[in-house]
Chain A
């Protein structure tokens, strides 16, 4: 639609205003008469013709007649000046005739540029080492990220350090507001997601267990799976997407506008002011959200067990009490603060890496979310192996 209109518009313009060029050659003399409109809009189709004229060798005198030009702008002047300059470089005698006063000013204005050689674009060169270079750079930056992450973790553990070396003030208001944004705000979506996942697992489990006449064991399946793994993992992934990205974007856009530098020169520690409250808020919010997600998932499962398998809620709760114990619940909850720290640190590190462009902000937010989700899942796997090893 838009392109069509554009075509129409430019076609209309071209019909009305065209750059004309008539060339006559007599031996070693070249005579060009320009007429019509020579503006940015019209010069495109005479560009090639002009370049051919520039390439003409062996001309002694070149006469450029500007008398019939009705409109000229810098683009038109540039084409004419370029021809004049190239022919003059080739040893021809160039003179302008019938140039109006304004045309003379314009030709003069582009003169400096005509003398400059426009640097050609770098030719593409195949480099067999390029992929390895990329891998190497990736490994090095991974190392840098790790160090930066440890730095942020270290300064956080050391305390809020609002002011560099002066006091260890903690700002409870900031922490509370972050908990509200990251934790309370996430409750609806976490509840909905957990309830649906719980219901799906219960339905699938019941469907398979029905063959064995062991439908009641769906309660064990759902209970253990949710408590130990899924509750915390789903919540962490949701929070990585929801809050990890927000942390990166907030810190990144502050970095872009030199607000981080402003904090530094005011004497405040950016990590203390920006990262610490967010990290603390995440460490508090993620376990709480996990508990809520566990309840929601069990609720969803209970509803499906009742409606799909005919297990009444009372039987569900009785069975649940037998199948899970405190260790199952703790096994899930212990993981939550670790995941919160991972999300917070990766979000902050990526935020600090934002450069000057909007594009880099987008790239860093993407990296932050992808990295946090990936590492959260890897850490969950490590915990599973660890629990298996210590028989927890």
Chain B
């Protein structure tokens, strides 16, 4: 694990770990309040994400999962609170630190958000071009390597996003998110709209990348399969804050009505049984 964490990381990160827990905190949110006009979406929300974990984020529609994600990334304004991403408070950092944080962050938007005027290869090269001074040949090789890593066929490299299927768009967008081998990736519903086989492949892929690249994954998802199979920890958003967080066992034990119906509903029970049987 240590071989992959960059040497500067440990110094950058402020000690924000819980007592008795000495894992490194990659993302720390404290008392975050976000409201649009009169409507308060998030109120005094606190959250820690640890290095190397896959955090699944769930919550009913409209509870503010996407708002939280966008706030963490600095795309939304928050009224109150602090967010530290990779040890840097994005409200206060200077431009150079902000850039290093951006370089070490990858985002997969819900609908891919690939640049429609560029091919897949060029899309993946955008962050490389912007931040690094790589020889074109190496850049091509690295982009194709990323294409290979996310499981896209090589002939997809020269296609435009409009020529790709939904699943391929997700994979291409993941390849772009991984272009600079970031420390943390944010995935917004990565498996929505994929068939179960494709979704399972995607889950495996995320886990492999975590194992090989030491990624921290923050995944907003509704996919119970993903939650059961790849997520180390699950956080439930509701009532404008993180209601419950813990492992899947904690979720199954929770008495919170929403969590109960989510994880012990008809669809969940099926998966749970299968998982138990498999074990």
Contact = CB atoms under 8 A, between A and B. Distances in A.
Interface of A: 5-6, 8-10, 12-13, 16-17, 37, 39-41, 43-44, 47-48, 69-75, 78, 82, 100, 102-103, 105-106, 109-110, 112-113, 116, 118-119, 121, 355-359
Nearest to B127: A40
Size bracket, chain B contacts: 35 or more
Contact of B154 (A78, A105, A116): A116
B162 A357 contact: yes
A145 to B, nearest CB: 21
The B interface, classified by DSSP as helix, strand, loop or mixed, is: helix
Contacts of B163: 356
Contacts of A47: 134-135, 137-138
A16 B6 CA distance: 11
A9 B102 CA distance: 12
26 contacts: A5-B96, A6-B99, A6-B130, A6-B131, A8-B96, A9-B96, A10-B131, A16-B7, A16-B8, A17-B6, A41-B103, A41-B132, A69-B3, A72-B3, A74-B145, A74-B146, A82-B141, A102-B4, A109-B208, A110-B148, A110-B149, A113-B144, A113-B148, A118-B140, A121-B140, A358-B115
Contacts of B100: 9, 13
A207 B213 CA distance: 79
Contacts, number: 120
A132 B7 CA distance: 59
A358 B116 contact: yes
The A interface, classified by DSSP as helix, strand, loop or mixed, is: helix
Contacts of B148: 110, 112-113, 116
B116 A359 contact: yes
Nearest to A116: B154
Interface of B: 1, 3-8, 95-96, 99-100, 103, 115-117, 128, 130-135, 137-138, 140-142, 144-146, 148-149, 154, 160-163, 178-181, 208, 211-214
Contact of B3 (A16, A78, A102, A113): A102
A9 B5 CA distance: 19
A37 B7 contact: yes
B161 to A, nearest CB: 7
B116 A73 contact: no
Question: Quick one: which of B144, B145, B148, B213 has the most chain A CB within 10 A?
Answer: B145
Nearest to A110: B145
B140 A40 contact: no
Contacts of B214: 102
B3 A118 contact: no
Contact of A78 (B7, B8, B145): B145
A176 B176 CA distance: 46
Given A71-B4, A102-B214, A109 B149 contact: yes
Contacts of A44: 132-135, 138
A339 B180 CA distance: 53
A11 to B, nearest CB: 10
A78 B141 contact: yes
B89 to A, nearest CB: 18
Contacts of B180: 40-41
B117 A100 contact: no
A71 B5 contact: yes
A102 B1 contact: yes
